[in-house]
Amino acid sequence: MSIYTLLDWRFINLAVPFIGLISCAYLFFSRKTCTKRVGVSTAVALSLMFWLMLTWADWGSLSFVASYQTMWARVILLVISLLIAYELRYYTRLSRFLRAKNNQLQLEKKQLHAIIHRLETQLTHKDESK
């Protein structure tokens, strides 16, 4: 198969839904993207469904005719879903970073409280000794 066959618009038209299916599966199973929220997981599941339905149109339908325009529409849909996946990944990383920082700050706050308490007790002891 030469590079010209791979870059033929019909081939791209057939290949894009499978790339979309793989990207959705990656979103579901990757540890670096959090799809725990109800809205996000429903959206990913439904996008899995629409990529699946595009394969139905390609391989199972007798009336659907692919064209240059459907190829471009699919490529743009793929780009949009990849951008959304990238954003999701970024916000997952951000929220993990912020949670780690928050835990660290909580720990420091506890330690500071302990130090202040110790100092206060020492001061009161000094006052009593005077």
Partner 1 sequence: MPHRIEAAKATVTSLAGNGANIVAVASAATGLTQQLNQTHPFLYLDLPIWLFFAAAVILSMMGSLVSLFVDLMATPPPSPARLAINLVLGFLTGIIGAFVILPSVTAAPPMPLLLLTALSMSLLGTVIVRNIGEVLRSAELWQSIKTIIKDVIIEALEVAKKIAIERWKLFLALIFGGHSK
Which residues are at the interface with partner 1 (CB under 8 A)? 21, 28-29, 34-36, 38, 41-42, 44-46, 48-49, 52, 55-56, 59-63
Q: What would the two tokens of residue 94 be?
A: 């951000």
Closer CB to partner 1, 42 or 111, in the complex: 42
Closer CB to partner 1, 60 or 127, in the complex: 60
Q: Which residue has the tokens 């999701």?
A: 88
Smallest distance, Å, CB 22 to partner 1? Answer: 11
Closer CB to partner 1, 61 or 129, in the complex: 61
Smallest distance, Å, CB 40 to partner 1? Answer: 9
Q: What would the two tokens of residue 24 be?
A: 């959705």
- Count Cβ atoms below 10 Å from residue 60 Cβ, excluding itself: 9
Cα dihedral across residues 39, 44, 49, 53: positive or negative: positive
Q: Tell me the one-letter amino acid at 57.
A: A
Smallest distance, Å, CB 127 to partner 1? Answer: 51
Closer CB to partner 1, 72 or 97, in the complex: 97
Q: What would the two tokens of residue 21 be?
A: 């299916």
Q: What would the two tokens of residue 13 be?
A: 């038209």
